């Protein structure tokens, strides 16, 4: 099992808090850090490390040895560096070469001589990274004893006991086979024989010793520690922490299991179940709350918010590991409602050339991925995007506006209505004073153009009046005015305007058809072109009659104050027609 163990030292309270896997341990696990003297007196004033062991947390007991290693390493630093640096910073700050120099100086001061152990090859190295970070490796991280031999278990154990007892400088420690613990390294799966002082936790050392096979590596970690222990004891110093219990991982009847899973999982996601175990075996995983976390194809599937425990079972059905997990919900867009905010026409219709907005209502409103909304238009040339939800209608026809947030998409259909090109109506209205109201009709072309309403008004209300209910024009007084017709959109904006001329004649006047002046002109032309034929005579007679009618119709209004310019023009044409006829007759008679 690999745990991340950290120590954070406070220079003010002179205590060190212990952290295991990112979680601060209880106050009972605090270390009391004493003042540390400079390098020259390091072995005379060693720090006392006090911690309480948690009986049920095997990993913590093993990792507590790493704290001792770090503090022993920190002995070689000055007190500021020791009290200010955390676990990680302390390990990384001092490189291997510097620590090697410290250890060599310490060894020389204490008279340590590298022994020649039969069957062992003790070498000096600066590659400390290959050793475990424990108190024993920390005291002497550069010397490692290995033995590759064909000896059986008993012989290997005897070699270890003989070697350890020989380092006591006359003090018979009296180590026996029961004081040895066989450790199985989890990463390399090598067997190591180490010295153990806490016999209570040696639950299966006999079974572990039986696993020693031919051609094994026996790692001797205690020789120099025991030598230092005897030296310090002879000096009257307390060095009990040097021989603290070697709480090593023993071979157990059940595998050692660690579940490497995140503590939190987003709802809807899955995480593969990763289990570190030694030795390997067939394990099964179950969820304590399947409605929150379900096990599917070797993965944990988060179904809804809540908490659950992943329980790892052995082949015998025993729970080896419990991993608590919490499922949290990140609100994401599940649905979208679209609506046109400013409509130029009814419903989802907009007028060509108009700018409008489309509102998007995202559900839930607190969704965290609303910013991922993407707008689009189909066909692309139907609308112009001015911004998120803002458009301008370009071409008439049916189009679709779409918005998408991740995997959720919604659309709305929009009909672009063309602008009206003209208003169909009569160009002129002629009516007599006190006559019946004249109906007036105005329609837009093309049919179906986008227009909300049509408004009609008379510019001069003293001449005529418009009745919007009956759609008629009523004469008020003689004269002429203009009838203004306007087409409006839904916002009241004028999109098209045209006018119609209104002429009010006297009550006894004759309404001249608008074709009379044209007939007079045609008759005059025929008279000139056919002056020598009978047609000339007929044209002259017709022109005279029509001209007389025109004069009769317009002489009254022109004589009045409210006579119009049209009356004057028609009167002039009538007089010219009569004169032309007289001249034509004279010319015709003179020719015989």
3-class SS shares of the chain: helix, strand, coil, % to 5:
30, 30, 40
Q: What is the total count of domains within the chain? A: 5
Report yes or no: 393 and 467 within 8 Å, Cβ to Cβ.
Answer: no
**Residue 367 falls inside a structural domain:** yes
Report yes or no: 327 and 308 within 8 Å, Cβ to Cβ.
Answer: yes
Q: Which residues pair with 475 in a beta bridge?
A: 464
Token pair for 541: 């007679």
Q: 410: pLDDT confidence band, cut at 50, 70 and 90?
A: very high
> Closest Cα partner for 184 from 161, 203, 209?
209
Report yes or no: 308 and 276 within 8 Å, Cβ to Cβ.
Answer: no
Token pair for 363: 């559900």
What is the domain-level CATH number for residue 309? 2.60.40.1080
Provide the pLDDT for residue 348: 79
**Residue 344 falls inside a structural domain:** no
Q: 403: pLDDT confidence band, cut at 50, 70 and 90?
A: very high
Q: Looking at 402, 417, 432, which one is the last position of a domain?
A: 417
**Residue 143 falls inside a structural domain:** yes
Provide the pLDDT for residue 436: 85
The verdict on 186 and 311 lying in the same domain is no
Provide the pLDDT for residue 324: 87
Q: How far is CA 566 from CA 232, 331, 429, 474, 592, in A?
A: 135, 77, 13, 20, 39
The verdict on 260 and 389 lying in the same domain is no
Residue 24 has pLDDT above 50, yes or no: yes
Q: Looking at 366, 390, 417, which one is the last position of a domain?
A: 417
d(CA 591, CA 579): 19
Residue 199 phi/psi, 5-degree rounding, is: -70, -15
Structural domain containing residue 274: 256-328
pLDDT above 90 covers a percentage of the chain that reads 5
The verdict on 413 and 426 lying in the same domain is no
pTM strictly above 0.75: no
**Residue 340 falls inside a structural domain:** no
The verdict on 115 and 199 lying in the same domain is yes
What is the domain-level CATH number for residue 475? 2.60.40.10
d(CA 481, CA 460): 6
In this predicted model, what pLDDT tens digit does every residue of 269-294 receive, in sequence order?
Answer: 888 877 655 445 577 888 888 889 88
The verdict on 140 and 49 lying in the same domain is yes
The verdict on 183 and 79 lying in the same domain is yes
The verdict on 16 and 129 lying in the same domain is yes
The verdict on 300 and 371 lying in the same domain is no
**Residue 347 falls inside a structural domain:** no
The verdict on 301 and 408 lying in the same domain is no
Residue 109 has pLDDT above 80, yes or no: no
- The more confident residue out of 165 and 539 is 539
Q: 480: pLDDT confidence band, cut at 50, 70 and 90?
A: confident
Report yes or no: 339 and 302 within 8 Å, Cβ to Cβ.
Answer: no
The verdict on 465 and 443 lying in the same domain is yes
Looking only at the bridges linking them, the beta strands covering 438-439 and 408-417 are: unpaired
Report yes or no: 462 and 471 within 8 Å, Cβ to Cβ.
Answer: no
Q: Looking at 486, 505, 524, which one is the last position of a domain?
A: 505
The verdict on 116 and 218 lying in the same domain is yes
**Residue 510 falls inside a structural domain:** no
**Residue 373 falls inside a structural domain:** yes
The verdict on 437 and 575 lying in the same domain is no
Q: 537: pLDDT confidence band, cut at 50, 70 and 90?
A: low
Q: How far is CA 108 from CA 94, 167, 334, in A?
A: 20, 16, 73
Q: 91: pLDDT confidence band, cut at 50, 70 and 90?
A: very low
Q: What is the 8-class DSSP label of residue 562? A: T
In this predicted model, what pLDDT tens digit does every residue of 492-526 receive, in sequence order?
Answer: 778 788 889 988 888 776 555 555 556 556 656 65
**Residue 343 falls inside a structural domain:** no
């Amino acid at each position: 099992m690999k745990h991340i163990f950290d120590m954070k030292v406070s220079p003010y309270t002179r205590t060190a808090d212990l952290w295991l896997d990112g979680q601060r341990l209880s106050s009972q696990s605090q270390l009391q850090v004493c003042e540390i003297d400079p390098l020259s007196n390091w072995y005379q004033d060693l720090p006392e490390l006090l911690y309480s062991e948690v009986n049920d947390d095997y990993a913590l007991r093993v990792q507590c040895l790493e704290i001792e290693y770090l503090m022993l390493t920190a002995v070689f630093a000055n007190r500021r560096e020791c009290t200010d640096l955390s676990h990680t910073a302390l390990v990384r700050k001092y490189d291997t070469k510097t620590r090697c120099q410290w250890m060599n100086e310490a060894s020389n001061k204490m008279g340590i001589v590298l022994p020649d152990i039969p069957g062992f090859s003790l070498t000096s190295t600066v590659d400390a990274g290959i050793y475990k970070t424990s108190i024993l490796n920390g005291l002497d991280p550069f010397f490692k004893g290995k033995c590759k031999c064909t000896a059986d278990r008993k012989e290997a154990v005897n070699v270890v006991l003989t070697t350890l007892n020989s380092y006591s400088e006359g003090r018979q420690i009296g180590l026996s086979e029961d004081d040895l613990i066989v450790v199985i390294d989890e990463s390399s799966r090598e067997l190591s024989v180490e010295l153990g002082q806490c016999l209570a936790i040696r639950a299966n050392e006999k079974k572990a010793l039986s696993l020693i096979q031919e051609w094994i590596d026996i790692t001797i970690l205690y020789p120099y520690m025991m030598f230092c222990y005897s030296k310090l004891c002879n000096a009257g110093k307390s060095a009990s922490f040097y021989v603290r219990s070697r709480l090593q991982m023993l071979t157990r009847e059940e595998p050692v299991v660690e579940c490497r899973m995140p503590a939190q999982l987003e709802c809807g996601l899955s995480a593969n179940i990763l289990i570190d175990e030694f030795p390997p075996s067939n394990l099964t995983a179950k969820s304590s709350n399947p409605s929150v976390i379900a096990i599917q194809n070797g993965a944990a599937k988060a179904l809804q918010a809540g908490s659950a425990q992943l329980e790892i079972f052995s082949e015998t059905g025993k729970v080896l590991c419990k991993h608590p997990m919490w499922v949290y919900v990140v609100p994401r867009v599940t649905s979208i409602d679209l609506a046109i905010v400013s409509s130029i026409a009814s419903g989802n219709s907009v007028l060509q050339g108009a700018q409008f907005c489309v509102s998007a209502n995202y559900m839930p409103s607190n969704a965290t991925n609303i910013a991922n909304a993407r707008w689009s238009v189909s066909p692309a040339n139907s609308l112009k995007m001015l911004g998120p939800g803002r458009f301008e209608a370009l071409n008439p026809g049916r189009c679709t506006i779409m918005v998408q947030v991740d995997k959720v998409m919604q659309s709305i259909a929009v009909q672009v209505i063309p602008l009206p090109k003209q208003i169909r109506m009569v160009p002129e209205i002629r009516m007599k004073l006190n006559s019946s109201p004249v109906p007036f009709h105005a329609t837009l072309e093309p049919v179906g153009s986008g227009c909300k309403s049509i408004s009609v008004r008379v510019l001069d209300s003293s001449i005529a009046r418009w009745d919007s209910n009956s759609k008629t024009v009523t004469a008020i007084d003689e004269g002429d005015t203009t009838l203004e017709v306007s087409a409006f959109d839904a916002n009241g904006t004028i999109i098209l305007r045209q006018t119609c001329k209104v002429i009010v004649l006297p009550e006894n006047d004759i309404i001249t058809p608008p074709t009379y002046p044209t007939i007079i002109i045609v008759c005059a032309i025929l008279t000139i072109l056919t002056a020598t034929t009978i047609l000339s005579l007929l044209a002259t007679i017709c022109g005279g009659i029509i001209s007389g009618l025109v004069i009769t119709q317009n002489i009254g209004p022109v004589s009045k104050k409210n006579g119009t310019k049209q009356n004057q023009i028609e009167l002039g044409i009538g007089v010219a027609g009569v004169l032309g006829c007289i001249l034509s007759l004279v010319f015709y008679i003179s020719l015989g």
